[in-house]
A = this chain, B = another copy of it.
């Protein structure tokens, strides 16, 4: 079993941090997405979307998408549970995971792709759309800060995969200078610092 990944990518960090919380050791294979190694035909046999990370199982089959990989290991190694412990908690973890993907990762990612030109050899860039996406990420800082005023984690007192996803998406914002100001977003920064102090955060 091994994971193909590009360690700097935020979705790869999501999986690394999750596995560290579970205490699962993993073999990693470096794929240089900057050089486009993921676009090669043999890589597309692992994932037709040519993304990282991809989990290769011992039977040779593949699971792509960070949260799909996390969910596989949640099922195989249930302790500690990171996707929720009852119906409502599982739904709230899902809700915050998706908010993290659509309101944070998406906006930060679009800002990165459309303003830095990192992938401009393989996509059309719209710099103004990228800047607008960055503004939307910052608008979401307010939603998060207000929520975290009354909640230690995204789902109350329960640390979950939603926190991991949101943290990795938020921290990726540094690449485009999107960082919450502690004076303006004290609860968000408190939450971020608490999470980044976990050993898994630097896995």
Does A94 contact B65, Cβ atoms closer than 8 Å? yes
**B75 close to A86 (CB less than 8 A):** yes
Question: Contact between B75 and A63 (Cβ–Cβ < 8 Å)?
Answer: no
- For the complex formed, measure the closest distance between the CB of A163 and the CB atoms of chain B, giving whole angstroms: 16
**Smallest beta-carbon distance A135→chain B, Å:** 9
- Please choose the segment from A95-103, A171-179, A188-196 that sits at the chain B interface, where 4 or more of its residues have CB less than 8 A away: A95-103
Cβ contact of A72, chosen from B48, B72, B75, B87, cutoff 8 A = B87
Question: In the bound complex, how far is the Cα of B63 from the Cα of A124, in angstroms?
Answer: 36
CB of A49 within 8 A of chain B? yes
A91 contacts B103, C-beta separation under 8 Å: no
Measuring CB to CB, which residues of chain A are less than 8 angstroms from any residue of chain B?
Answer: 48-49, 57, 61, 63-65, 67-69, 71-72, 75-76, 86-88, 90-92, 94-95, 98-99, 101, 103, 106, 124, 126, 128-129, 132, 143, 146-147
13 CB < 8 A contacts A-B: A48-B147, A63-B88, A63-B95, A64-B95, A65-B94, A68-B92, A71-B91, A72-B87, A75-B90, A75-B91, A101-B101, A126-B128, A129-B129
